[in-house]
A and B are shown apart, each in its own frame.
Chain A
Amino acid sequence: ILNVEQSPQSLHVQEGDSTNFTCSFPSSNFYALHWYRWETAKSPEALFVMTLNGDEKKKGRISATLNTKEGYSYLYIKGSQPEDSATYLCAFRGNLIFGKGTKLSVKP
């Protein structure tokens, strides 16, 4: 059984803080790593699909990096805003194996 671990489980930051969280996954048989943003009462929304070691993707204030050799990906949020409050999920592709998510709360 593949394990995808995310840390921390939850994070509380002040508006304007920059933050990052981690996704760890098996480094063997890597195909792709997905990041999703999931707001309460909505469905998960795709942020990034990362496939190559050293990949770095950016969408506005959110960026992600990938290290397939050591089996981790970081998601960074620069200058957090209250609207960034959500659960951030990573998922390891074969069939998607999801981590449990990092719940981010941004206080105004």
Chain B
Amino acid sequence: NAGVTQTPKFQVLKTGQSMTLQCAQDMNHEYMSWYRQDPGMGLRLIHYSVGAGITDQGEVPNGYNVSRSTTEDFPLRLLSAAPSQTSVYFCASSYSDREFFGPGTRLTVT
């Protein structure tokens, strides 16, 4: 099993550009989520999904869209990147109350 994979590892965007952060898991977990990690802020939930076709907002959803067309994939879209979205993004999948985190994507918006 590859576990939870994220691509890319690093990305630099200009303000206003769009991009999609990819997340995939091969453990057949229903629950997947996206977090952002900022200095002094811990991990904050952006969006989550309890299964294919079902998504909901977390604590800090503004500026991000998600979709869940398959159990395996949960991409996070930034439609118009802003410097405030400079962060490290972690995708996670969950089973039986145990969270499995991906390696993270470090995003810089200039």
Contact = CB atoms under 8 A, between A and B. Distances in A.
A100 B42 contact: yes
Given A89-B42, A95-B58, A49 B33 contact: no
A43 B44 contact: no
Contacts of B99: 34, 36, 44, 46, 91, 96
B104 A43 contact: yes
Give chain A's interface residue range (CB within 8 Å of chain B). Answer: 20 to 34
Interface of A: 1, 32, 34, 36, 42-46, 49, 51, 89, 91, 93, 95-101
Given A46-B99, A98-B43, 20 more contacts: A1-B59, A34-B97, A34-B99, A42-B103, A43-B103, A43-B104, A44-B99, A46-B98, A49-B97, A51-B97, A89-B43, A95-B33, A95-B45, A95-B48, A95-B58, A96-B33, A96-B43, A98-B35, A100-B40, A100-B42
B41 interface: yes
Contacts, number: 46
B75 to A, nearest CB: 18
A94 B102 CA distance: 20
A93 B94 CA distance: 12
A43 B40 contact: no
B74 interface: no
B42 A98 contact: yes
A21 to B, nearest CB: 14
A37 to B, nearest CB: 11
